[in-house]
Structure 1
Amino acid sequence: MKKNRILLLFAHPSQHRSNVNAPLFEYAKSLDYVTAVDLYAKYPTYQIDIDDEQQLLNAHDVVIFQFPFYWYSTPSILKEWQDLVLEYGYAYGQDGKALQGKLFICAISAGGKEEAYRAKGYNHFTVRELLQPLEQTAYITGMTYLPPFALFSSRSAQFDHALSSHLAQWKLLLQALYHNSIDVRATESLITINELLGGSKTQGDKA
């Protein structure tokens, strides 16, 4: 089976305060099949090299956006990256077919509890629903969208031992993406992909 090359785009505006995302990013950097890019370090003035970013996309089969889920969206540099790199004629439009067939997934950390991301919870929507603009971006560009890899209650993850199990799931996810062994159809009804990796069994509960 074909092995996938993975492009990980990491966006964290306050890395010195990151207890969750930094360890995941550091582990990904150690893998020879992952190209791990720290967008804030690469572009401290937001002067994104469109050609370089498009060449990176062309050379990889899987695209991961890794970021803390602040205010139900991506950090600003990741939005700037999308606006500039995913341009007409490259990522979409009549001749924009460069991304077709690639896998796309978000790896996020959320400060709130899992039950807060439900119809009757504090945030009123699931994380998959809140990430629908990115799901639609994948659809428009011809990429195959996978439900997000998510850690809830991220502020306390270090203290309640959730980080170690989350890192273990992260390793499983990266291996599965590399080996192209994820059954995409099995993920269509999931809120997060964690359940497929042995995570919470309540993530599909929209109540």
Structure 2
Amino acid sequence: MTTLYRAVGPAELDDILTTGAFRNLGSAEGKYFTTSGEAASSYAQQAVKAFGDQPYAGPDPGPQQYFRRVIASYGRSRDSCLGHSKCTPSRTDAKCAESLANPRCAMTAKPDVIINVRFKTADEGGRKTALVGNFYSCPLFVDGEGFDCRVFLGDQKIELGERYLLPVKFLNRDFVVPKLMPGKPITLWEGKDVANGEVSEVLPDA
């Protein structure tokens, strides 16, 4: 048994309390946890600042208000970079941070870049389903490093195998934007490589 932590937003917390289960309310095909409560709390605070999220909630007072603990049988403990600003290549077997991809959430953060991206089909080893909703949270990899981000979908259905121009907002702009330029190859990751593309435009800071 391993103690796992996850940053939980208000909508997800309501759903957990209603259903008694962790469900995917957005386009992600998996849930993201960490073995550190401090990392979950750190991610939640960064997401409020970067993405304009509502404050994350939990059942405990003090610092633990930002995360909810779950005990799960997990085979072996795998570190997660939940709450960290970037993932190094040594952590490529771990799932990076993802806050709740809530289709009801409006785009409140100014994007940092525009990417030209194509999601792999299931036959190519990609996702099983199309993406829907307002945004999709995942790590964006560039030069072997992963950076937490939100890809804004604009409430359109993103079909697998098709190419799209999509705006992206990073959890920590300063860590990644200096590495980017038009034409720079990028990969989106959700437990595996799910999309490939390149930077179309780097947008000025707000």
How does the TM-score come out when normalised to structure 1?
0.29
Query: Larger strand proportion, structure 1 or 2?
Result: 2
